[in-house]
């Protein structure tokens, strides 16, 4: 893992040269993807870091998304809006994310998990473009911090009781399912529930996603939500007994919350807000699959995390492209785009198809696995899961149709139907999404 971090640090030395960072990040992607030929459970061991199947997939996803972030933020470069600071923040965020996913020690994972908040906050406050971003930053920071300080206490008590915080050594887990164990369990998982986010703790997400600049939205939707999923996968193994008692809470909140949030999506006028709420719905399904503690659920969760990361990130890119041209994110103004930007219609459609888990996208494979896992836990939930999938298609088609079809705004003369760099960014989002289903075993991790 050190090769990634050293490469990252070296790139930080060249932040004055935007193009070099762009190309350097693509090089880093290539470097990361080469490691796919692994055959051991745990590789790249050393310096308290190790990578296993799940970590590897998520590290590749982070580097991919950060690379695409830099490519889609050409406005920052054009306006000369503190380019050096912007690239430094992005690279620091990438370093922290790689550290998080490759950490072996729960405490190191926690520290990196918290550290990712700082570059994120700087990104929102520094390059966001609305005064509401102050409140959005505060919401994100305090929701996450409030929930994760109990996690710190829980990890320290785990250290005291077990003697080590190594992920591989805590196999026995916390025994018992009442009293202290209950409190312990809730303290530990609450942080990840807020990060995912779960329905009742999701208020920070629409604010943060909307107020962040495109780079911030991309990394939030693409990687930071997956930190919650990843943390849950690591920590639920320790608390498996208590989890069996309480998984009904998380499944209900996840699925039913997802249905409610999908209905709210149909009421949204702001494009970014719609995509943000759709993230809540998807992650609700992921959470339900995870806490059921089945093989299908785990695999489905990872696949949906990767697919959603690519898809939501791409949709935020598209929303930003519309915003750059029309000056508004409102679906009332940016409608009938097929008339003015016909070429973008292809990318809109491909990513929208990904969002509603239509074949042949990766999301389809994940969502089918998750539906199987959740229905195997309780047949009654078929109704809610069906509604979740149905409304997910509803609001996605609503967004596509309202933004693309129909008559365009009278005040609009023309806009560029897409620069090559924008096509590149969208290509890199949708091609993996559509192609990786052919060899799905690459993303499935039978931990």
Using the minimum distance from each CB to another protein, give the nearer residue, 34 or 380.
34
> Can you read off the two tokens belonging to residue 155?
């990890």
> Can you read off the two tokens belonging to residue 122?
């700087």
Distance, CA of 195 to CA of 240 (rounded, Å):
20
> Can you read off the two tokens belonging to residue 295?
């093989």
**Binder among 14, 42, 74, 415 for another protein (CB under 8 A):** 74
Applying the rule CB under 8 A, the residues between 393 and 422 that interact with another protein are: 419-422
Least spacing, CB of residue 336 vs another protein, in Å: 24
Position 318 contacts another protein (CB under 8 A): no
**Binder among 2, 6, 9, 36 for another protein (CB under 8 A):** 36
Distance, CA of 411 to CA of 23 (rounded, Å):
38
Stretch that binds another protein, among 18-26, 105-113, 123-131, 222-230 (CB under 8 A): 18-26
**Binder among 171, 380, 413, 439 for another protein (CB under 8 A):** 439
Q: What is the CA radius of gyration of the chain?
A: 21
Stretch that binds another protein, among 117-125, 275-283, 285-293, 431-439 (CB under 8 A): 431-439
**Binder among 10, 30, 47, 249 for another protein (CB under 8 A):** 30
Which helix (H) or strand (E) segment holds residue 72: the answer is: helix 53-72
**Binder among 157, 240, 424, 434 for another protein (CB under 8 A):** 424
Using the minimum distance from each CB to another protein, give the nearer residue, 23 or 266.
23
Least spacing, CB of residue 78 vs another protein, in Å: 6
Q: Is 176 helix (H, G, I), strand (E, B) or coil?
A: coil
Stretch that binds another protein, among 111-119, 200-208, 376-384, 430-438 (CB under 8 A): 430-438
* Rounded (10°) CA dihedral 438, 342, 315, 51: 40
**Binder among 33, 245, 266, 332 for another protein (CB under 8 A):** 33
> Can you read off the two tokens belonging to residue 100?
């998080």
Position 71 contacts another protein (CB under 8 A): yes
**Binder among 37, 172, 410, 414 for another protein (CB under 8 A):** 37
Q: What are phi and psi of 343, to 5 degrees?
A: -70, -30
Q: Is 105 helix (H, G, I), strand (E, B) or coil?
A: strand
Q: Is 412 helix (H, G, I), strand (E, B) or coil?
A: coil
**Binder among 19, 130, 180, 401 for another protein (CB under 8 A):** 19
SS3 annotation, 217-269 = HHHHHHHHHHHHHHHHHHHHCCCHHHHHHHHHHHHHHHHHHHHHHHHHHCCCC
> Can you read off the two tokens belonging to residue 311?
């898809």
Position 47 contacts another protein (CB under 8 A): no
CA–CA–CA angle 259, 225, 46 (5° rounding): 145
Distance, CA of 218 to CA of 10 (rounded, Å):
24
Contact call for residues 310 and 429 (beta carbons, < 8 A): yes
Least spacing, CB of residue 428 vs another protein, in Å: 6
The structure tokens 């206490």 sit at 153
Binding site for another protein (CB under 8 A): 19, 22-23, 26-27, 29-30, 33-34, 36-37, 39, 53, 67, 71, 74, 77-78, 419-422, 424, 427-428, 431-432, 435, 438-439, 441-442, 446
């Amino acid at each position: 893992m050190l090769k990634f971090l050293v490469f990252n640090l070296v790139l930080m030395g060249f932040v004055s040269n935007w193009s070099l960072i762009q190309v350097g990040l693509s090089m880093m992607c290539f470097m990361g993807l080469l490691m796919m030929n692994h055959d051991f459970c745990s590789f790249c061991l050393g310096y308290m870091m190790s990578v296993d199947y799940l970590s590897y997939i998520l590290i590749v996803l982070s580097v991919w998304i950060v690379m695409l972030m830099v490519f889609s933020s050409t406005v920052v470069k054009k306006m000369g809006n503190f380019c050096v600071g912007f690239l430094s923040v992005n690279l620091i965020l990438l370093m922290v994310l790689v550290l998080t996913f490759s950490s072996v020690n729960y405490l190191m994972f926690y520290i990196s998990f918290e550290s990712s908040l700082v570059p994120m906050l700087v990104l929102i406050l520094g390059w966001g473009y609305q005064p509401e971003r102050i409140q959005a930053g505060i919401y994100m920071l305090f929701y996450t911090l409030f929930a994760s300080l109990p996690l710190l206490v829980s990890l320290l008590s785990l250290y005291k009781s077990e003697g080590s915080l190594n992920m591989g050594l805590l196999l026995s887990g916390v025994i018992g399912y009442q009293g202290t164990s209950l409190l312990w369990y809730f303290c530990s998982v609450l942080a990840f529930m807020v990060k995912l986010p779960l329905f009742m703790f999701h208020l920070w997400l629409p604010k943060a996603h909307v107020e962040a600049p495109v780079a911030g939205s991309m990394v939030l939707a693409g990687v930071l939500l997956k930190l919650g999923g990843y943390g849950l996968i690591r920590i639920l193994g320790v608390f498996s007994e208590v989890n069996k008692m309480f998984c009904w809470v998380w499944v209900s909140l996840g699925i039913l919350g997802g249905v409610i949030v999908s209905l709210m999506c149909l009421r949204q006028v702001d494009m970014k807000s719609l995509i943000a709420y759709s993230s809540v719905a998807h992650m609700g399904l992921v959470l339900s699959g995870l806490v059921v503690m089945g093989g299908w659920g785990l695999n489905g969760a990872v696949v949906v995390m990767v697919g959603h990361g690519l898809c939501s990130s791409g949709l935020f890119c598209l929303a930003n492209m519309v915003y750059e041209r029309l000056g508004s994110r409102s679906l009332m103004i940016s409608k009938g785009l097929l008339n003015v930007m016909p070429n973008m219609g292809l990318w809109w459609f491909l990513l929208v198809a990904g969002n509603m888990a239509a074949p042949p996208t990766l999301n389809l494979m994940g969502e089918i696995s998750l539906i199987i896992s959740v229905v195997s836990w309780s047949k009654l939930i078929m109704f809610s899961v069906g509604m979740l999938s149905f409304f997910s298609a509803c609001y996605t088609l609503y967004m596509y149709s309202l933004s693309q079809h129909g008559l365009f705004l009278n005040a609009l003369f023309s806009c560029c139907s897409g620069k090559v760099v924008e096509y590149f960014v969208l290509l890199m989002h949708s091609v993996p999404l559509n192609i990786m289903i052919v060899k799905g075993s690459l993303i499935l991790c039978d931990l």
